[in-house]
Structure 1
Amino acid sequence: MTGPIDSDSLARAPKVLLHDHLDGGLRPATVAEIAAEIGHTLPVPDVAELGEWFRRSADSGSLERYLETFVHTVAVMQRHEDLVRVAREAAIDLAADGVVYAEIRYAPEQHLEGGLSLDEVVAAVQQGLAEGEKEAASAGTPIRTGQLVTAMRHAARSREIAELAERHRDNGVVGFDIAGAEAGFPPSRHLDAFGYLHEANLHVTIHAGEAFGLPSIWEAVQVCGTDRLGHGVRIMDDIEVIGGKDEYGRPAAKLGRLAGWVRDKRIPLELCPTSNVQTGAASSIAEHPIGLLKDLRFRVTVNTDNRLMSGTSMTQEMTGLVQQGGWTLEDLRWVTINALKSAFIPFDERLALIEGVVKPGYARLGAG
């Protein structure tokens, strides 16, 4: 399909999501209901206004106001039953959006104020995801989910969180992540954790190349041995666009040594277009580097990051790329298969989803 893509096709297209934060994807009504139960004061009382407050705050250009949004979502994710509910609703909402596989990340160390242990947090999230998977299957929208257990890069618990991930790898955890402010907190501060994870043969993704540039990406790739790059949009700092086309019809560009390595090694980029625009990593969806990186055949994937704060979904991310970036259904199929190739579940499970779900799904829409 090379012509216009209608909204129904975009909604029905199978989707794969590798970068989605559990504490960034709550339903506004859930935030309001739990906050009322626990006595947490929200910035606005009305549910409809609350959702808009989250979006305005994330889009305000103020880092302080952006971070404040997570104060409220994390506050309502401290009890066992609340973690179960939030995780269950995440799986259901993603499945209803056409997502067939999702890796959902969160930092267990941020959910201990209600007296839960780290292991109890992971178990509660897994219970919710399993319940959500079951409900989604009953609704005719099956989804497979996995947890990415995240350590905060400004804290000193990364080895502990790595061991937590290993303990739960047979109970829903598919990998490990570090997140938080990049500047001043390089991933190399956590080499003990990464060494442990590599010895345990556990998959790793690292937030790098979002707010900070090439040094963050280089350390994540060459020092810490990451399997994927969370965002990685600043790899563009190592690419010089010459103009015109090369002999393969792709944009003519000169890749620096790091960009060339990332492309050659097929290191996946977990790009989040709407979020990247909000944080200033890109000026607009139309100008987002994802289009050029796709054309240069980096292993590009499309993600939501924080669905509540960005007011987005996978369908909306794809719609923006089609309407503002000129993407085709074949482009969307390609990045979806990229994402499954890059997923942290076993190869046979990835292949089954590619061959049994994604390819047939896009074929029904006229692609592939």
Structure 2
Amino acid sequence: MTLTSDEILALPKVVLHDHLDGGLRPATLIELAAEIGHELPSTEPDELARIFAENANSGDLVRYLEAFAHTTAVMQTAVNLRRVAREAVLDLAADGVIYAELRYAPEQHVDGGLSLQEVVEAVQEGIEEGVSEALEAGFAIRAAAILDAMRHLDRSVEIAELALANRGRCCVAFDIAGPELGFPASNHREAFQLLREAHMPVTIHAGEADGAGSVGEALGLGSARRIGHGVRIHEDIEGFGGEELVLGPIAQHALDMQIPLEVCPTSNVQTAAAPSIEAHPMHELRNLGFAVTVNTDNRLVSGVSMSSEFAALVETGWDKEDLFEATLAAAWGAFLPYDEKADLAELVIEGYGLEL
């Protein structure tokens, strides 16, 4: 039976891949841009959201990325960072998300004079405010932050040290984001060694704009516990989509270790990592036993929510049990202590009303 919109909204959700600078409320972006005199494509919320979504669906990566110049422009003060983080948590909670990991690159928010540490603290304050306000509104959500280093720049060691200094309250993991093709994880070998020796969780954007080799480098040199997107790992599977398959070492490693793939269906189509949601490699990867999770990536820029991503998958044939399995995989893939992951998994099981 097809799930209704209300039924999808009511399902508990876990999002592991959601960029803070890609999920602002349109009205907030317009208000903050006006305060600093930053020009936007539109000052009407619905139209601005439509423009961003059209750019994201244009097939032009340059147009897709234009939105981030606007969002980061207004995220250069502690007050604004706090507000954006708070609203992100509230919006996710209202969408049925019970656990969220919000990621952002501190180095992109220092143009207004903030230090990296001040950026981290402002975002964390906003997250905590959002969790408290959501609870007052009747929504129970837990949220955490992942710190990104930009893979085409050279501050990864500094951001890794920042992540370690804020481990616990303000940071649960480290990531590298930004242009993948031409900027391999090996450029940040020193940062990954530092994190590995400190046993700091790492997730790495890989297998989106580059192929399976990028995923392999993330899993090997980067010791990634999760892969951001990862959909092109299928390029390491001979005969993918057919009856007779031969898994290469990268795919076999990810499957054997149940490395969560932070799949973002709509965004993957928009960036050409997948031809369509119907023909997305995630379906076959899931059927093969890979730990496929469902995520938003950039809610404003892509014009999505967790509920809309669920609905899009339901249109391709996913049912409640399929959504449950992906959400449970996300719960167990969360960067939480084991007992807290178990508690989160129990909430998912209870919320879906399904038996294992």
Runs of 4+ in 1 over 4 A off after TM superposition: none
- The aligned counterpart of 1:347 is 338
Q: Indicate the residue corresponding to 1:104 in structure 2.
A: 102
Q: Deviations over 1:287-323 (max 9, x none)?
A: 1111111111101110000000111011111111111
- Which residue of 50, 57, 74 corresponds with 1:76? 74
Equivalent residue number for residue 130 of structure 2 = 132
Q: Which residues of 2 match residues 1-368 of structure 1 at below 5 A?
A: 3-239=1-237, 240-241=239-240, 243-244=242-243, 253-324=245-316, 326-355=317-346, 357-363=347-353
8 Å contact 2:38–2:73 — kept in the other structure? yes
Structure 2 CA distance for aligned equivalents of residues 42 and 227 of structure 1: 38
Task: Please report how far the alpha carbon of residue 253 of structure 1 lies from its aligned counterpart in structure 2 after TM superposition.
Answer: 3.0
Contact kept? 1:333, 1:367, Cα under 8 Å: no
| 2:202–2:222 CA contact under 8 A, matched in 1 | no
Unaligned runs of 5+ in 1: 245-251
* Code of the aligned partner of 1:348: D
Amino acid paired to 1:21: H
For the structure 1 residues 88 and 265, does the alpha-carbon distance in structure 2 shift closer, same or farther, using more than 3 Å as the test? same
Give the equivalent residue in structure 2 for 1:247. Answer: none
Identity %: 56
Q: What is the CA–CA distance in structure 2 between the aligned matches of 1:344 and 1:257, rounded to whole Å?
A: 25
Q: Is the 8 A contact 1:85 1:128 kept in 2?
A: yes
Give secondary structure in 2 for the equivalent of 1:207: strand
The 3 A distance-change label for structure 1 pair 367 and 13 is farther
- Structure 2 unaligned segments of length 5 or more: list them: none
Q: Distance in 1 between matches of 2:263 and 2:166?
A: 27
- The 2-side partners of 1:226 and 1:241 are apart by 24
Q: Summarize the Cα distance change of 1:295–1:166 in structure 2 as closer, same or farther, 3 Å threshold.
A: same
Residues 234 and 240, structure 2, Cα contact 8 Å, conserved in 1? no
CA contact (8 A) 1:329 1:367 kept: no
Shift of residue 4, structure 1, vs aligned partner: 2.1
- Measured on the aligned residues, the alpha-carbon RMSD in Å equals 1.2
**Normalization by structure 2: what TM-score?**
0.97
8 A Cα contact 1:330 1:367, kept in partner: no
Given that 1:176 and 1:202 are in contact with CA atoms closer than 8 Å, whether structure 2 keeps it comes out as: yes
